[in-house]
Amino acid sequence: MSVKALYQGGTGEIVEKKSRFIANFKEIESEEEALAFIGKIKKRYWDARHNCYAFVAGENHNLQRCSDDGEPAGTAGRPMLDVLLKEDIHNAAVVVTRYFGGILLGTGGLVRAYQRAVQEGLSHSVIIEKAKGRSLKIDSDYNGIGKIQYILAKNQITAMDTSYTDKVVAHVMVPVEKLEALKQEITEGTNGTAGLWTGDLAEFAVIDGKIKIF
């Protein structure tokens, strides 16, 4: 099972009735990292009226915090947090800085503006699908490699590396829930001629077509 995680934070901005809302994202693993990031953003935008924030961390969003930072209660922090939870984003902190434009937005207007700013910031960030998996080493003669490549492609498995000598050796990362079925499929597809070795459990993601292990 995979989870959506923030890999690289970005910045997005919207303007609503002359008020500027600037959303800054950062990937975090703990409350300490989130608070350090929030402090940094508050220093950067020291002259803004509000620096509202929300952050989530943990496999099941165990850690959740948010702040309205002087906006009317429930109009900023919680709506921002709701976007992260609805989008099911993990390990992310966002600060939305507001420069007041002189026109009151009302509670509904504030909620919508802060949520739109978070969505804009997300659109400028890099979100990845993180999964738990095991490495799998596959070796085969040249007769079997075409079938193996077909099986890997069908199961959307990306190879980390492949070497071609007197035989073909491929290293792949396989989500745990697909591992046994994939091994069986390769064994059957190559009539038992492929060698299979399973490695350690790790978290991984496919980023720009390449495997990254965390």
pLDDT in tens, 139-148: 999 999 999 9
Measure the CA–CA gap between 16 and 114, rounded to whole angstroms.
10
Q: What would the pLDDT profile of 53-63 be if each residue is shown by its tens digit? A: 999 999 889 99
Ordered by start, the domain boundaries in the chain are: 2-124, 129-213
Cα–Cα distances in angstroms (integers) from residue 152 to residues 128, 140, 210, in the given order: 21, 14, 15
CATH T-level assignment (fold) for domain 129-213: Alpha-Beta Plaits (3.30.70)
Average pLDDT over residues 91-111: 97
Pick from 152, 149, 26: nearest CA to 92: 26
CATH of the structural domain 2-124, one choice from 2.10.109.10, 2.50.20.20, 3.30.230.30, 2.40.50.100: 3.30.230.30
Per-residue pLDDT band at 109 (split at 50, 70, 90): very high
Please name the residue that has the structure tokens 């984003």. Answer: 89
Per-residue pLDDT band at 49 (split at 50, 70, 90): very high
Q: How many CA atoms lie within 13 A of 56 on its CB side?
A: 20
- The reported pTM is 0.84
**The predicted structure's pLDDT at residue 1:** 77
Residues 6+ positions from 194 with CB-CB distance below 8 Å: 138, 139, 140, 144, 148, 186, 187
Q: Where are the beta strands (DSSP E) in the chain?
A: 2-8, 11-16, 19-27, 50-57, 63-67, 89-90, 92-99, 126-140, 159-164, 168-175, 195-207, 210-213
